[in-house]
Amino acid sequence: MNLFEKLVEDDGAAKSNSQLAAMTGADPVLLSRILKHLAAARVIEEVDADTFAPTGLSNALIEPKYRDAFPTVNDAAGPPLRQLHRYLASTGFKNPTNPTDGPFQYGHNTTLHTFEWMKEHPLIYQQFGNFMAGYTQGRPSWLDFFPAEDRIVKGLSEKEEAVLLVDVGGGMGQDLEEFRRRMPSVKAELVLQDQEEFVERAKAGLAEKGIRAMAYDFFTPQPIKGARAYYLHSVLHNWPDSKCKDILSNLKPALAKGYSKLLINEVVIPNKGAPAVSTGLDLLLMAVSSSGHRTEKNWQELLDWAGFRLVKVWAFEAGMEGLIEAEVA
């Protein structure tokens, strides 16, 4: 229907229900019911009887990174969440750990992994990419609580080809863009790595900011050797331990011992008093990828297995996203 887009036409002038029905092609009776509810929820403004105007919220929902959160959650996550109780009962209430035979597959009647399924549904896959680009909006940035200048910029190799930061599975490059924006004097190379679909959409805009984008599958050996830091943001929480071990095993040989850092930007669940937003997202991850958030102990065990030493967990707030700093043991 593109209702919010229609509302901002003519510089956002108020429009009647009949005008909007003509602009959208929607049934006027149906549209009136929808408009009244949106006004009641304060998404749009009801300026007069059957007359409506946009708000800051409705304008924001035109942007793909906000708009596409809703279809992503409804169309991709909705079916496994609605069937989660039935799936768990069918397994005798065992914790899901198989990424190709879990709640997502049960809810969508598929044998494909979540990301493979999304690739077969291109619109949902595109919406997911947009959603992840806006995921960090309104949240503390890793640069708010991790002293990047002291921990990775300082000590960077003086070689001309030195790579400062490789963002592995970094989506549209939003974290690297923020790094450039907040540290404009740091000219060292930044590299985005993700699936080709995301890289192709992002690389032109990133190139203007001096960020290199390359297609890469993190289940294959890391091609960039000896970078100062390898950064994974909300990557490992999508995979059970068995797959995380594969990801880290492919990454580790690229790190230079005593120089390279592994930076994992993820929620770290406290042993006691975990916030509801983190535990809720943990259950969502269980439903969509048979994975979830991890405690500091879980992270320690995973890193130990992969041959890394946990240096420090930098946190803005307990139970929310933290920055796990590690290096080759």
Q: Is 121 a catalytic residue?
A: no
Query: Residues with Cβ < 8 Å from 160, sequence gap 6 or more?
Result: none
| AA letter at 150 | D
Q: How does 269-287 read in b/e, with b if 16+ C-beta sit within 10 Å?
A: beeeebeeebeebbebbbb
DSSP calls for 80-141: HHHTHHHHHHHTTSPPP--TTSSHHHHHHT--S-HHHHHHTSHHHHHHHHHHHHTTTTTS--
Q: How does 220-252 read in b/e, with b if 16+ C-beta sit within 10 Å?
A: eebebeebbbbbbbbbbbbbbeebbeebbebbb
Q: Are 279 and 91 spatial neighbours (Cβ–Cβ below 8 Å)?
A: no
CA distance 97 to 53: 48
Using the Cα atoms of residue 312, residue 318, residue 323 and residue 328 in order, give the sign of their dihedral: positive
Structure tokens given for 54: 């946009």
Pick the catalytic residue from 108, 113, 233, 237: 237
CA distance 90 to 199: 39
Give residue 22's Cα distance to chain centre. 37
Residue matched to tokens 């080809």:
161
Beta bridge partners of 310: 326
Beta bridge partners of 312: 325
Active site residues: 237
